[in-house]
Amino acid sequence: MGRKALFFDVDGTLLSEVTGKVPNSTKRAISIARSLGHLVFINTGRTCGGVGAIRELVENDGWLCGCGTSVEAEGRLLYKKSLSWEQIRKISRSLIASDMDGIFEGSEAGYVLTLDSRFELGKRIRQNVMTAICCIDPDHIPDIDVQKLCVIGDEKSHKELFFSSLIPDMQVIERGGGLYECVPVGHSKATAIDIILKEYRMTIDDAYVFGDSNNDIAMFEHVPNAVLMGKHSPELEPYASFFTRTVEEDGIWYAMESLGLLSGEQ
């Protein structure tokens, strides 16, 4: 087996949503793979400002953040896409008019229009997701660096009004439970992978992806070697080439060992 590039989602793939930790078996598997010359990249929907302490949890060669809006390899920034001041202002006003909650996700922090939220999910995100949460005034948008946003809506919200206001600049990924990721058009976990493969002069067949949720669909459709975690969104199943166990059942170790990524043999 030649050198491969391995791309891992974070939540529900590397990081257990039950224990909030990365299993030791996963850490060992990644360490062994890197010792064999394979490259390891974290490919997450979280922006750099939402990664926090996760950066220190596993060995890696780079970070693909914000659904393809930021790509970093070996400490070098290869690509970055940020929303303009006009876009942030327009989206802020549309959120208010649509009775929805939203968190603008940036390279340093998360930004909200109100410190409180009528949505329980909004309250939890404010507490857990971003390294820092700052409140901004939609009429006086400061100079902030934002790559994407997550929005929350329910039956009282005017979701179609909001989503239509994003056209043609943003695309929407439904995550379930009233949560939506809004990403600049032309960006995804798949486009981030292509940047890495080009940088290292590797082919799509050299790539392996590991994921579990809807925002992994782009990379599952794109990469033939697609490992699906034991607990996952059913929408990913048609694109999976290998079904592994859950995070808590050492699913990453099991998949990497089965696929020869820990021994150099396929």
Q: How far is CA 58 from CA 14, 26, 206, in A?
A: 9, 8, 21
Distance CA 206, CA 51 (A): 26
- CATH numeric code, 5-80+187-258: 3.40.50.1000
* Low-confidence residues of the chain: pLDDT under 70: 1, 128-131, 264-266
Contact 145, 167 (CB under 8 A): no
For residues 59 and 22, give the distance between their C-alpha atoms in angstroms, rounded to a whole number: 12
List the chain domain ranges: 5-80+187-258, 85-184
The whole-angstrom separation of Cα 14 and Cα 229 is 10
pLDDT for 115 = 82
**What per-residue confidence (pLDDT) applies to 194?**
98
Same topology, domains 5-80+187-258 and 85-184? Answer is no
* The pairing of beta strand 226-228 with beta strand 39-43: unpaired
Starting at the earlier edge strand, list the strands of the sheet with 242-243. Answer: 76-80, 70-73, 62-65, 39-43, 5-8, 207-211, 226-228, 242-243
What pLDDT does 265 receive? 56
Q: How many angstroms separate the CA atoms of 224 and 239, rounded?
A: 8
pLDDT score, position 171: 96
pLDDT at residue number 54: 77
At which residue do the structure tokens 């990497």 appear? 256
The pTM for the full model equals 0.92
Domain 85-184, CATH 3.40.1310.30 — does that match?
Answer: no
Q: Please report the pLDDT score of residue 264 as a whole number.
A: 61
Asked if 149 and 84 touch (Cβ cutoff 8 Å), the reply is no
pLDDT tens-digit series, residues 59-78? 999 999 999 999 999 999 99
Element (H, E) at 165: helix 159-166
| Nearest Cα to Cα of residue 95 among 176, 182, 175 | 182
